[in-house]
């Protein structure tokens, strides 16, 4: 009788659950999608083995396949409750996997080099290998190392990216507790200079000016709009974390990463940081949100002599102006003070630099990623930040070279073992290790923690990081639905509306520095002479070489749509000269070392040969295990700039044009010394990563310049050497032939010098 009763009860219960079913299901090519009325959309792969639980008529994924609804699977609960529940269920191996952030992944993988990968042991072969497949290396780090944070670089097409995302998420869903991948990207909305903009046409992804260009608009609303559009495109590509914005105040004009910042104003950088994060995180967490990983705490824009901390020769940030606190303003008044309900950027990346003598508690001169005072005492305790802290890439690696971009960057703790590096960063307050696919050293750091703290304490520390990391994955909704419709991806990424918004932002980012006798605008159908530009052979940061070239520097087909073109300056009405700012070295030269020097050389912002007669006799900071000295001074040394030909091009063109107008277009990444070329220019337009067409339409009067300088332009290199690396606005600026100074906030429109409230608002 009992048996019959229980069978009947089971039947009634099953019938009741079935009868209460409120959700509907749609089949897609590789996944199923469920609509919960008034609730979350749920997506799952039938191949993953995950089943659907129906509770109160609503659908939930049984991610751990135990036949019941766990708290972390219940989308009705708060992110905090779900994250804590899941963290408590994870093994140490699984938590260690969450703490990894992959090296750069290309879709499909390249055959060799830093982005290489294999498919079934073989290299990618176009036409044979499916570009949407996972590589052998990706399967390994997902299954064996439990890694769930994946950094994506290049993708072949948006559709391929979407299909690859679906395969990766199905793979993650099939193993362990079903934790989805949190895919991320460095900024990917830069321009293709020669691409033509057509209002009716779409593109591969919307194109916007660089961060420095955004800053030049002095309009945070443009940056917030970019964030919202970029977030929608990121989500359509399967990207849920942006490794941006870069909000370091660029107080050192020679710094190689100046272009990725919002300039030298702490307040402008803070306003842009706030707008950027509000845009990306969408104001409210959900399927439109992308986690913003703001960088680089506590500011990396004051490297001594302008050198960058990607290299051992640039490991020290210095503060001769005693202005350390101002470098945190873009974080504490911007990225940590959002208008939307997300409140703070969800992740922070410290920089590689040793913030020289700024640790007033432990007095450690170690990289910010390892500095407990910088991360725990300042970031966590003083400013109340409890989001994810992720190291910059390759921090927990072995240091072997003074000038390699791919060197391990364990500055100040170079002699520690790999395990001890992981442990020290963890104890400093770090949650995650950028560029590390291998869980082994994290697990060994856990064992070290058992010996030093006891297992309950180190387990609690690991769970603390796990909760932070999991919350960011829960917030963006991929536990419920990580899958993409490739056709929707194709329609969203680079759609005409978004291309238009990006192009309009480019136009608003162009700064007019000079307009002698109202040279601009120039009527269409005038005849223009465009000289070819020589570009010297070069090698990029990964060692890839580019041969020397000499060609037209702009898309001549676009030029011809606005002006008549001639190769004879004698018959031209005006000339258009396209150049770049002086290209400096990293401030280090092995030849100098071989010749008995210390290897350190000046970083120049002028085209002509530069001798550092006004540089420091003794560097503020110094020291490295590979060096037997601490003085990194370079006073009296001379350097050449590889694009002196750009200055010659301007001056030679002026000679050929005689008294006719010469319009100079500069693609800028850093401040520069203008005295070498300015007098030869009738008009100067400055752009920060804009399409050729944006420049040309400005010249033709289709768009009026409105942007302002987000940084100072130095009068000469002497003032650059004498300025303090950590102070904004402390240089004498270039004064042009018209009597205008190229200071922060300077810019012109057709009427003359722009004078509005934007400058006074942000220059403090």
17: pLDDT confidence band, cut at 50, 70 and 90?
Answer: very low
pLDDT at position 208: 96
Structure tokens given for 374: 């910088």
Structure confidence by residue, pLDDT tens digits, 118-147: 999 999 999 999 999 999 999 999 999 999
Q: What are the backbone angles phi and psi of residue 26, rounded to the nearest 5°? A: -125, 135
Dihedral, CA of residue 610, residue 614, residue 616 and residue 617, to nearest 10: 100
Structure confidence by residue, pLDDT tens digits, 70-98: 999 999 999 999 999 999 999 999 999 99
pLDDT at position 201: 75
pLDDT at position 550: 85
Structure confidence by residue, pLDDT tens digits, 170-195: 999 999 999 999 999 887 778 777 77
Percent of residues, the chain, with pLDDT higher than 90: 88
The mean pLDDT value for 209-220 works out to 97
Structure confidence by residue, pLDDT tens digits, 273-322: 999 999 999 989 999 999 999 999 999 999 999 999 999 999 999 999 99
How many degrees, rounded to 5, is the angle at CA 243 between CA 238 and CA 244? 120
How many degrees, rounded to 5, is the angle at CA 352 between CA 643 and CA 184? 90
Structure confidence by residue, pLDDT tens digits, 493-542: 999 999 999 999 999 999 999 999 999 999 988 999 999 998 887 776 66
The mean pLDDT value for 478-494 works out to 96
Q: How far apart are CA 385 and CA 461, in angstroms?
A: 16
Q: What are the backbone angles phi and psi of residue 354, rounded to the nearest 5°? A: -90, 115
- Full set of structural domains in the chain with CATH: 2-77 (no CATH), 98-135+148-437+476-492 (3.20.20.300), 510-583+643-762 (3.40.50.1700), 585-642 (no CATH)
Q: How far apart are CA 273 and CA 435, in angstroms?
A: 24
- What DSSP string runs through 296-348? EET----BGGG--TTSGGG-EE--TT--GGGGGHHIIIIITS-SSTT-S-SEE
764: pLDDT confidence band, cut at 50, 70 and 90?
Answer: low
Residue 14 has pLDDT above 80, yes or no: no
Residue 204 has pLDDT above 70, yes or no: yes
Question: H or E segment at 566?
Answer: strand 564-566
């Amino acid at each position: 009788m009992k048996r019959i009763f229980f069978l009947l009860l089971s039947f009634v219960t099953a019938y009741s659950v079935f009868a209460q079913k409120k959700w509907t299901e749609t089949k897609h090519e590789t996944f199923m999608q469920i609509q919960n009325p008034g609730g979350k959309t749920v997506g799952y792969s039938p191949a993953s083995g995950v089943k659907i639980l129906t509770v109160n008529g609503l659908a939930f994924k049984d991610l751990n396949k135990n036949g019941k609804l766990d708290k972390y699977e219940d989308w009705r609960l708060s992110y905090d409750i779900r994250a804590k529940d899941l963290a408590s269920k994870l093994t140490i191996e699984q938590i260690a996997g969450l703490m990894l952030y992959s090296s750069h992944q290309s879709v499909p993988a390249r055959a060799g080099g830093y982005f290489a990968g294999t498919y079934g042991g073989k290299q990618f072969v176009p036409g044979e290998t499916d570009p949407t497949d996972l590589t052998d290396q990706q399967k390994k780090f997902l299954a064996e190392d439990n890694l769930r944070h994946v950094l994506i670089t290049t993708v072949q097409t948006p559709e391929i990216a979407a299909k690859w995302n679906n395969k990766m998420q199905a793979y993650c869903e099939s193993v362990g507790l079903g934790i989805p991948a949190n895919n991320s990207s460095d900024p990917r909305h830069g321009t293709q200079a020669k691409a033509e903009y057509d209002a009716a046409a779409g593109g591969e992804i919307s194109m916007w000016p660089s961060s420095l260009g955004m800053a030049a608009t002095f309009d945070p609303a443009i940056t917030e709009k970019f964030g919202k559009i970029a977030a929608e495109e990121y989500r359509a590509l399967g990207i849920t974390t942006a490794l941006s914005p870069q909000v370091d105040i660029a107080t050192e004009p020679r710094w190689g990463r100046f272009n990725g910042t919002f300039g030298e104003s702490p307040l402008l950088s803070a306003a842009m940081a706030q707008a950027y994060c509000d845009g990306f995180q969408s104001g409210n967490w959900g399927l439109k949100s992308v986690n913003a990983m703001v960088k680089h705490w506590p500011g990396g824009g004051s490297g001594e002599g302008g050198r960058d901390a990607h290299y051992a020769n640039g490991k020290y940030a210095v503060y001769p102006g005693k202005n350390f606190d101002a470098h945190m303003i873009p974080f504490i008044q911007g990225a940590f003070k959002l208008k939307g309900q997300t409140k703070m950027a969800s992740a922070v990346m410290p920089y590689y630099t040793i913030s020289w003598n700024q640790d007033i508690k432990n007095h450690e001169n170690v990289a910010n990623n390892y500095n407990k005072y910088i991360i725990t005492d300042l970031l966590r305790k003083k400013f109340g930040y409890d989001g994810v802290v992720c190291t910059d890439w390759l921090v927990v690696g072995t240091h072997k070279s003074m000038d390699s971009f791919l060197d391990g960057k364990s500055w100040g703790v170079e002699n520690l073992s790999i395990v001890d590096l992981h442990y020290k960063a963890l104890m400093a307050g770090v949650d995650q290790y950028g560029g590390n696919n291998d869980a082994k050293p994290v697990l060994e750091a856990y064992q070290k923690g058992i010996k030093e703290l006891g297992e309950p304490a180190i387990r609690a520390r690991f769970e603390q990081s796990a909760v932070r990391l999991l919350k960011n994955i829960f917030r963006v909704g991929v536990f419920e639905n990580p899958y993409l419709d490739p056709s929707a991806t194709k329609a969203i990424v680079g759609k005409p509306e978004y291309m238009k918004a990006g192009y309009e932002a480019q136009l608003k980012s162009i700064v007019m520095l000079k307009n002698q006798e109202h040279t601009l605008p120039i009527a269409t159908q005038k005849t223009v002479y465009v000289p070819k530009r020589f570009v010297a052979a070069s090698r990029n940061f990964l060692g890839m070489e580019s041969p020397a070239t000499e060609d037209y520097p702009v898309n001549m087909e676009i030029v011809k749509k606005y002006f008549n073109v001639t190769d004879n300056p004698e018959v031209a009405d005006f000339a258009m000269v396209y150049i770049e700012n002086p290209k400096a070295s990293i401030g280090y030269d092995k030849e100098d070392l071989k010749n008995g020097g210390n290897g350190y050389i000046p970083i120049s912002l002028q085209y002509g040969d530069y001798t550092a007669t006004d540089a420091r006799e003794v560097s503020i900071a110094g020291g490295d295990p590979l060096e037997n000295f601490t003085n990194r001074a370079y006073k009296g040394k001379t350097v050449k700039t590889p694009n002196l030909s750009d200055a010659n091009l301007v001056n030679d063109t002026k000679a050929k044009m005689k008294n006719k107008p010469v319009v100079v277009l500069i693609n800028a990444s850093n401040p520069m010394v203008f005295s070498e070329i300015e007098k030869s220019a009738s008009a100067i337009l400055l752009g920060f990563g804009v399409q050729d067409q944006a420049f040309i339409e400005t010249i033709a009067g289709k768009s009026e310049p409105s942007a302002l300088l987000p940084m100072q332009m130095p009068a000469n290199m002497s003032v650059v050497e004498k300025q303090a690396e950590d102070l904004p606005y402390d240089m004498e600026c270039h004064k042009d032939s018209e009597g205008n100074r190229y200071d922060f906030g300077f810019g012109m429109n057709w009427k003359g010098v722009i004078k509005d409230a934007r400058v006074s608002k942000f220059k403090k």
